[in-house]
Amino acid sequence: MEDLKLLIVDDEPHIRMLLEQTLEDLEDQDVELLVATNGQEAFDIIQNEKPQLVFLDVMMPKMNGFEVCQKVKKELNMDDIHIILLTAKGQEADKEKGLSMGANEYMTKPFDPDSIVDKAVEILDLVMD
């Protein structure tokens, strides 16, 4: 079985921490949690580590989530990477932009931690006790 990797990308430390704490139980299922603090770092990690799932913040320094998404999906053609954009912007136009850039899904902040875990379990095809 291939190693499962999940990347958390957010420039806000408390949100990164919340996501890490929310998803840390997945490590028991041999899921490696990776963390990036800006878009450029996220892009580099995605290229090198090829995580199956990325929770990607939209508003970030160096490269925003839309740009990261577009580069990963359109330039690298990494369609097998599931990208969920996380943003405080819940407008329909933002959602459509994200999906047009290649995002698989869109979740607005504040998010329900349980829904984040459920989503990760579903996408990574995990069996939780």
- Phi (first) and psi of residue 125, to 5 degrees: 60, 50
What are 106's strand-pairing partners?
Answer: 85
What are 36's strand-pairing partners?
Answer: 9
The pLDDT value given to residue 111: 85
- Phi (first) and psi of residue 23, to 5 degrees: -100, 0
Percentages (nearest 5) of helix, strand, coil residues in the chain? 45, 20, 35
pLDDT in tens, 96-124: 999 999 999 999 888 888 999 999 999 99
The pLDDT value given to residue 2: 65
For residues 45 and 34, is the Cβ–Cβ distance under 8 A? yes
Predicted TM-score (pTM) of this structure: 0.94
pLDDT in tens, 42-56: 999 999 999 999 999
Complete domains list, the chain, with CATH: 4-124 (3.40.50.2300)
Share of the chain above pLDDT 70, in %: 98
